[in-house]
Amino acid sequence: MLTPSGSTTREISISDGGNNLILTGGYPMPATPTQTHFSQDSLLTLAFDASDDFTQLAGYCERLVENLVECHSLPERLALCSRLTAMLTLLQPALAKPIPRRLIESLTVDDIPETSPCFEPETELLCDYCLTLAQLLSGRTFVPEMEQTLNGLLFELVCYFADELRMPRFVRTVAGVKLIDEVRRMM
């Protein structure tokens, strides 16, 4: 959802107790194709491969993790998580490659965004994440109660990652299209 400040906000329930995870931050979206809502079933059967660009794969990952956090069926959660793993595995090598020319326009804006994607969980949630990860790493396994916290962390990280991938990288200037970082350094 777009907030009045122009940043993205997501709210999703991560527990039966009514606690909601609210993500704020992000950036104003450049003109890109409208994102389509995918049902859980369509996400599990969606065809994807190396020809999908990183912005498409990021969007699919975001939809998968949104469905994963809201899912209450263990077999469905496992299927969604497996699908997310496959997409992230396919996406990873694309990150080291130059941005394809066909995507440059969709990642170009007229003005440098005032905000960037951010990962800023509340302190209690951040403590839960740290504690759960420490317990998981020290025990090399997790108990069912940790799954909810891990799903919340995965949700936040994937959404942050997807926002980072779709973040504008170029700005139109009088001298032509330039990298935003390059223009910021010159300011």
Full pLDDT tens readout for the chain, 187 residues: 222 233 344 443 433 333 333 333 333 333 333 344 566 667 777 888 878 889 999 999 999 999 999 988 989 999 999 999 999 999 998 888 899 999 999 999 999 999 889 998 999 999 999 998 888 888 878 788 788 889 899 999 999 999 999 999 999 999 999 999 999 998 8
pLDDT given at position 187: 84
Nearest alpha-carbon partner for 8 in 115, 129, 151: 115
Q: Report how far residue 158's alpha carbon sits from residue 163's, in angstroms, rounded to the nearest whole number.
A: 8
DSSP annotation of 93 reads G
